[in-house]
Amino acid sequence: MSNSHEPMPVNDPYTPYTPHRDGAGANRAALIIHTMADVAAAFLGLWILLYLLGANEGNVFVGFVHGIADWLAGWSQDIFTMESEGLRVFLNYGLPAVIYLLLGHGIASRVRRL
């Protein structure tokens, strides 16, 4: 039996829906930023690994990873010009990977606090 003194809930179709701010949007944006930074660093790290292991650059997959890594590290190409080719690739592609991780995770952390 229901209490007859409580009013019935009203479903007013003309009242706009105004959700309360629970941070779900900020968390979703932070997750996207965090994931993009991780994916960028993963491509750069994968290219370093493939290069150092002597992968066949004529292979479609290796060429795809190299192209993505070149695009992501375009701004940092030839910062380091060592004689050792392996060390040069490691530093020229490793630096952007670390910077993407630091910036991406830092920005995601700030967005989560909003």
Q: Kindly state whether residue 17 falls inside one of the protein's structural domains.
A: no
Give the per-residue pLDDT at 38: 96
Domain range for 88: 24-112
Residue 14 in any domain: the answer is: no
Q: Which of 13, 10, 36 is nearest to 103 (CA)?
A: 36
Inside any domain, residue 3: no
Residue 94 falls inside a structural domain:
yes
pLDDT at 113 over 90: no
9 domain-assigned? no
Tens digits of residue pLDDT in 31-87 = 999 999 999 999 999 999 999 999 999 999 999 999 999 999 999 888 888 888 889
Is there a contact between 47 and 69 (Cβ–Cβ < 8 Å)?
A: yes
pLDDT of the residue at 114: 80
**pLDDT of the residue at 13:** 63
- Residue 6 forms part of a structural domain: no
**Helix (H) / strand (E) containing 69:** helix 60-72
Are 7 and 92 in contact by the 8 Å Cβ rule? The answer is no
Segment 10-19 mean pLDDT:
59
